[in-house]
């Protein structure tokens, strides 16, 4: 080997060896991710029942179960997310394919004309070649980029899980609200009828000359207020029906029919911090987004070092097609290419620094997501506690109002009081019954919010079932 060749080899090999020490092959450690996170050992007032799997079935409503399955099949936001997820599967497949050699077949034909001694000569040329190329991923640039895309895919899958959790909770919440509004509407209509009876009674008294004009006007005002409340309840019911229709993929709420058969309010579900961190899809998504930028930073570091690519080609060329494939027309070559970045305006260094900044940013994002998720669980537990206490108090007041109504009827039947007293206590009892319905609904909705805040792994059965055929087709080479 000549002195010049040895010098060139040294200049090539030294950067290669030095750069091997700079690539970030180690993934980010758990202690770097969880640093500064302060998590207590348990939640305050956690319940005892489990809340995993198809959680909405604990409400024991066949209608809600059917609506949920229908939404999972027909909701546009879910369908939109699946298409985006399939695109990420394809992107991951593309980045993974960059790591294997490529092989291509080429064929060509050309015709040229030239002048020889004043005569025009036609020259035909034909070629048939096979070319292979490969980039040696010495520093892991392609591997890290592929892994970054894999983590992007996993993060998006957890985003889809979050969408399932959000939409299922929203549908269950709206379903509970529909039943409550339907029952409240009946109570408002009963109240309107009672106020109408009160007005009729006071009109009779006024016409008989023993009634009070002020009480008559108060009765009219109360009836008008009751009529307004009926309209408001009807509007609330239509609004909830419309929101359910949108979740199911309909533009008009009149296209769906919902009964008010009822449901069973489940027990308070169990929740501990470790379960929340491991099962909440938004926390898992934030974690894999963090991993994505960690591997993107590693890929950016690897791009600062030499790139080695290899190529080989073999083929035939000739003046006629019949003579094309013959031993004397065969040629082959092997090429190696080493590119070492020297001056690039600091672009590669800045790209690495950018990815490092994104990584640090997403560490904080992950920590914030964990704290937010745990706070949502604690808030939901508090809401459940207050909702249960409110319901108990409303039931106690309902018992008192029922006793007052019974006493008023007894006093009327014995001639002690007039019928107006019965109507007044019945109106109060009717309003209390509506308050109990609202409190029952609020407790059920608080249960739903807590289940949503805890998270769960039930969504995988839906995503796997819906994706398996499309993903298998995507990577099978079937273009049909």
Q: Please enumerate in sequence order all residues whose Cβ is within 8 A of that of 24, keeping only pairs 6 or more positions apart, or say none.
A: 144, 294, 297, 298, 301
Q: Does domain 24-99+138-304+345-476 have CATH number 1.20.1600.10?
A: yes
The reply to whether 102-136+306-340 shares the fold of 24-99+138-304+345-476 is no
41-84 per-position pLDDT tens digit: 677 666 777 666 789 999 999 999 999 999 999 999 999 999 99
Which DSSP symbol is given to 40?
A: -
The DSSP string of 172-204 is: HHHHHHHHHHHHHHHHHHHHHHHHHHHHHHHHH
Domain residues of the chain, as ranges?
24-99+138-304+345-476, 102-136+306-340
| Measured CA distances, 387 to 78, 172, 381, 443, 444 (Å) | 32, 17, 10, 5, 9
Which tens digit of pLDDT belongs to each residue from 92-146?
888 888 888 888 988 888 877 776 666 777 777 878 888 888 888 888 888 898 9
What is the pLDDT confidence band of residue 11, given thresholds at 50, 70 and 90? very low
Whole-number pLDDT of residue 53: 78
Q: What's 102-136+306-340's CATH class?
A: mainly beta
Q: What is residue 274's three-state secondary structure?
A: helix
**Average of per-residue pLDDT across 305-324:** 79
Range among 178-187, 207-216, 254-263 rated most confident: 178-187
Q: Would you call 109 helix, strand, or coil by DSSP? A: strand
């Amino acid at each position: 080997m000549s002195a010049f060749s040895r010098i060139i080899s040294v200049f090539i090999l030294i950067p290669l060896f030095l750069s091997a020490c700079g690539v970030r092959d180690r993934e980010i450690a758990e202690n770097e991710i969880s640093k500064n996170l302060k998590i207590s050992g348990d939640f305050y007032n956690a319940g005892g029942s489990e809340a995993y799997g198809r959680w909405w079935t604990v409400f024991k409503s066949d209608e809600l179960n059917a609506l949920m399955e229908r939404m999972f099949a027909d909701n546009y936001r879910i369908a939109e997310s699946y298409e985006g997820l399939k695109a990420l599967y394809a992107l991951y497949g593309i980045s993974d394919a960059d790591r294997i050699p490529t092989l291509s077949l080429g064929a060509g034909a050309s015709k040229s004309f030239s002048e020889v001694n004043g005569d025009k000569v036609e020259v035909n040329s034909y070629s048939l070649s096979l070319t292979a190329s490969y980039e040696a991923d010495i520093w892991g640039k392609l591997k890290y980029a592929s892994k970054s895309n894999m983590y992007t895919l996993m993060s998006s899958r957890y985003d889809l899980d979050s969408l399932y959790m959000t939409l299922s909770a929203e549908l269950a919440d709206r379903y509970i609200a529909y039943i409550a509004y339907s029952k409240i509407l009946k109570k408002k209509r009963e109240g309107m009828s009672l106020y109408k009876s009160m007005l009729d009674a006071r009109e009779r008294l006024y016409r008989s000359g023993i009634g009070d004009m002020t009480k008559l006007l108060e009765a009219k005002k109360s009836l008008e207020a009751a009529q307004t409340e009926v309209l408001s309840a009807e509007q609330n019911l239509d609004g909830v029906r419309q929101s359910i229709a949108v979740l199911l993929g309909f533009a008009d709420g009149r296209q769906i029919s919902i009964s008010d058969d009822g449901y069973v309010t489940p027990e308070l579900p169990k929740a501990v911090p470790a379960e929340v961190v491991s099962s909440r899809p938004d926390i898992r998504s934030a974690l894999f987004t963090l991993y994505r930028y960690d591997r993107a930073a590693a890929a950016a570091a690897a791009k600062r070092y030499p790139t080695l690519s290899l190529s080989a080609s073999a083929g035939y060329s000739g003046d006629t097609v019949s003579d094309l494939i013959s031993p004397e027309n065969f040629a082959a070559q092997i090429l190696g290419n080493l590119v070492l970045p020297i001056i690039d305006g600091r672009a590669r260094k800045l790209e690495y620094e950018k990815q490092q900044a994104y990584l640090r940013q997403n560490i904080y994002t992950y920590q914030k997501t964990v704290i937010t998720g745990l706070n949502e669980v604690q808030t939901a537990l508090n809401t459940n506690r207050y909702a249960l206490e409110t319901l108990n108090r409303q039931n106690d007041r309902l018992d008192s109002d029922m006793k007052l109504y019974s006493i008023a009827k007894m006093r009327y039947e014995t001639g002690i009081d007039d019928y107006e007293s019965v109507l007044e206590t019945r109106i109060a009892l009717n309003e209390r019954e509506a308050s109990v319905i609202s409190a029952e609904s609020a407790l059920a909705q608080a249960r739903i919010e807590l289940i949503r805040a805890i998270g769960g792994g039930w969504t995988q059965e839906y995503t796997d079932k819906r994706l398996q055929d499309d993903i298998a087709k995507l990577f099978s080479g079937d273009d049909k």
